[in-house]
Structure formats: C-alpha cells, structure tokens
Structure 1
Amino acid sequence: MWNKENMFNKLWDAYRKKDTIWVKWVNTVRLKGKSLWGYKGKATDSWIWRSIRKHRVWMYEHAEMIVGDEKGRYFDISRHSFILWLLIKGRLETRDRVSKWLPSCERSCLFCEKEETQEHLFFDCVYSGKVWRKVLGMLGLYRGNGGWRMEFGFMINVKKGSKMQRLMLKVASAGTVYFVWRERNRRMHGKRMRSEGVIIQEIVMVVADRLSSLRGIKCEKKDWE
C-alpha cells in the first residue's frame, strides 16, 4: 500500500541516490541525469510515479523549514514530521475541529481545561508552553511563548546561534509538537498522565539521536542540556 509516508520516503531515497534497485531505475530511466525537482514527467508515467512527483512539491517547500539548507537538505520522513505537517496545514483533529461535526465532543484542553484549539495547544497552554520554553532554553533561546501562529513564525525566522543550534531547533520543534500531541492523545484515551519533565527528556533523546544519525555531525544528550 503506497501511503503518503511511503511516497515521501521514496522521494528522499531518490534525492540522495540511495543504493537500491528502485533508485537506480529512477535515475537511469526516468531522470536520466536531470534534477528530481526539475523533472516534468511524461504522459506515459505510471500512477505511482505521478503520485510521487506530486508529493515532491510539499517535500521541497518544507524540507528546508524542518531541517536543512540549500547545500544539504535533510528531510526526516517520520511521525514527527507528519504531525508537524498536519499542524502547519491546520489539519490536526483538535477538539474544536471535531466538535464542528460532532457537537457532543468535549472542547476542553486535556492539559488545562481551556478550549482546545490548535492555537492554544501549541503553545499557549500552560503544560505545552512549559515544555516549549524548556526546550528553547536548552538551546539558549529565552522568550515568552504564545500561540501557534506566533511560535511557528519564530521557528522559521530565528537567526540566532550557530548552524548546529538552528538545526537542533528545527529537529526539536518537530519533536516537541509530536510529543505534546502524543501525550494529549494518551490522556484522551485514559492512560497515565506524565509530567512535562518526562516529555522534555523524550525530546532531548530524539534530538541527540536524530542529529547523531546525520553524516558528519556528532551530538550527544549532554551537548544541549
């Protein structure tokens, strides 16, 4: 089954020329030395290839914003990036959205009892705001946080710090969104509530592991605590 995540993974494999039979076929038969981004396609392309090409638009537009730069894009195809993408597009099923088609749905935030909206949950909420401020503080960034629109603008425009710090911020942003959303879902399904400190430790481990997996970058948990 070719779902969205499969499409993104195939695109990333093709971009970095991963040593697989499929990637070799794409570069030899389809691209023929041309850029993945510049390939316009043919009428004879299969539906799978047409779908993969369609998804490259989103990947190109958001890869640099999430993690990377023009010289070497790193696009992590994971649950973190997917949840962040849904948030950017305003498609996360927060309670205010669900209540539009299910009036009986509770609208209160599972962390603080205020109305759960995308703007509130990321990161105007007391719980998620504390997590976000702590993550920023570990990166040497100190500021009062607001709702999602304000924080998203901050994420994509921050210039302070070294290249490593900015890369850490991009990975940590996706991780923070993901773990806050996961904790919210845990509570909605009646699982044990976890403190902000537990979520923060998960984010620390993710950033360290994710950056350590990149070629030429060494990063340990102690590097940003």
Structure 2
Amino acid sequence: MENGIGNLPGLKNTWSALRKKKPEVIWWSLIWFPYAIPKQAFLLWLAVRNCLTTGDRLLVWGYKGDTQCGFCRHGLESRDHLFFRCSFSSRIWKNCMQRCNIENPDIDWLNVMDTGYRQWKTKRMWGALCRLVLQSGVYHLWRARNEIKHNGCPKTEEQVLRSIYWDVRSRFSGNGRFAKTMESVNLCLNWNISFSVLV
C-alpha cells in the first residue's frame, strides 16, 4: 500500500518519513540470515557494536570490582579478549571452526568479522553454518561468562561446546534445503546433522 488511501500516506511513505536512513553496514549478513536464532542474533549485534558490559567498559563507568577475564584470569576482560583471544574461548572457537572444515581459524575479533562478511555470505550450507556457529559461540560464551560473574559457577569447555552443538543441530534439523555436495555431506557428518537437510 504505497500510495495510501485518499489523502492518507501509504505505509512505505510513513515508514520512510519516520526512520532515519543510514548507510548499510557490512556485517549485517553475519547477524540477520534465515538460520539465525533471534536472541543470539541480538547478542551478536551488541558484540559487533561493542555494547556488551565487559570489564573494560565497566572500568570506564567507574566500576571498582573485578574486571579480569573470568575464564582465563589473564588480563582485562574486553570483547576482543572474550571473543576469541582468551585461551578458554579460543579452544571452543577452534573446535567449532574445525567442524566447519576451517583448520586454523583466526582468533582476532576484527579478522573474524572481516572473514565472516567477505566469505560466509553464501547460500552454501558452509556459510550458514559458520554464521550460526559464530552467533551461538558468542551467545554461549557470554552466558558462561555471566555464570562466573554473577553466580560463581564456571562452566566447562565441554558444557559450552555441547550447547553450541545442540543449537546448530536443532536449527538445521528439518530446516535446511542445501545442495547435496561432498562439502555439505561432510558438514552433516561433522555436526551430526540429518542428511534430510540436503536435496
């Protein structure tokens, strides 16, 4: 309903008048894609914009408590440290990326983002899987970080990995329609995803 009814503006015109048009960001495809899990997409959006309440940001706000990384206890907690320079999170990231057939994944946040928006924006199963692993990895590492900070209950690497694996398998089970290639068959085997997602 672009033109509206009578003298009333249409929906498209109203929407255009209300919102401020901004340039398209290059990382949007890492966050918003068909297999994204909404709450995980939102958390990744916060992480990309560096809006998570990490130790370095808390210090700027005058926080006097512990701002060290709760996983490795080495250095100031920051987005770039948590994702994926910390020894704990880098082992999880590397494990997940190896299941995506990436043998030596980068652990630098900006490089991961650069690789992601340049290489993972594809209709192949591999691209969707890499994006979902990024979202799920950031989400579950952030939850594990909060368990330490707020409840004093650290999770093991195995517990975090299990949560990521569960999300990936659940999201792809019965939802995918990917070409049956050697690559996609291998990915299904690596992640224990049903072959029913392949056509």
Return the letter of the residue paired with 1:89: R
| Distance in 2, Cα, partners of 1:177 & 1:108 | 18
**Paired position in structure 2 for 1:20:** none
**Paired position in structure 2 for 1:224:** 190
| Distance in 2, Cα, partners of 1:207 & 1:127 | 20
**Paired position in structure 1 for 2:151:** 190
Q: Does 1:199 align with 2:160?
A: yes
Tell me the C-alpha RMSD between the 2 structures. Answer: 3.5
| Distance in 2, Cα, partners of 1:92 & 1:31 | 41
| Distance in 1, Cα, partners of 2:140 & 2:158 | 12
- Report the alpha carbon displacement of residue 75 of structure 1 after superposing the two structures with TM: 6.3
**Paired position in structure 2 for 1:131:** 92
What do the CA deviations read for 1:64-119 (whole angstroms, capped 9, x no partner)?
33364xxxxx2636210001000111111101101111241322000111210111
Q: Does 1:79 align with 2:79?
A: no
| Distance in 2, Cα, partners of 1:58 & 1:79 | 24
| Selected match of 2:52 from 87, 92, 104 | 92
TM-score by length of 2: 0.74
Q: Does 1:163 align with 2:135?
A: no
| Distance in 1, Cα, partners of 2:149 & 2:168 | 26
User: Could you say if the C-alpha distance between residues 55 and 165 of structure 1 is closer, same or farther in structure 2, counting changes exceeding 3 Å?
Assistant: farther
| Distance in 1, Cα, partners of 2:22 & 2:42 | 15
User: Could you say if the C-alpha distance between residues 216 and 150 of structure 1 is closer, same or farther in structure 2, counting changes exceeding 3 Å?
Assistant: closer
Return the letter of the residue paired with 2:150: H
What do the CA deviations read for 1:161-217 (whole angstroms, capped 9, x no partner)?
981111111111100000000000011012422111111111111011112253536
Alignment of 1:29-68 (within 5 A): 29=1, 40-42=12-14, 50=18, 54=19, 63-66=28-31, 68=33
Identity fraction in percent: 22
User: Could you say if the C-alpha distance between residues 184 and 31 of structure 1 is closer, same or farther in structure 2, counting changes exceeding 3 Å?
Assistant: farther
What do the CA deviations read for 1:19-57 (whole angstroms, capped 9, x no partner)?
xxxxxxxxxx4688xxxxxx74238x8xxxx4xxx4997
User: Could you say if the C-alpha distance between residues 222 and 42 of structure 1 is closer, same or farther in structure 2, counting changes exceeding 3 Å?
Assistant: closer
TM-score by length of 1: 0.66
Q: With a CA cutoff of 8 Å and minimum separation of 6, indicate the structure with the bigger relative contact order.
A: 2
Return the letter of the residue paired with 1:42: T
Structure 2 residue runs of 5 or longer lacking an equivalent are 5-10, 192-199
Structure 1 residue runs of 5 or longer lacking an equivalent are 1-28, 33-38, 69-73
Deviates more, 1:179-188 or 1:194-203: 194-203
| Distance in 1, Cα, partners of 2:134 & 2:20 | 22
| Selected match of 1:177 from 127, 133, 138 | 138
| Distance in 2, Cα, partners of 1:177 & 1:205 | 14
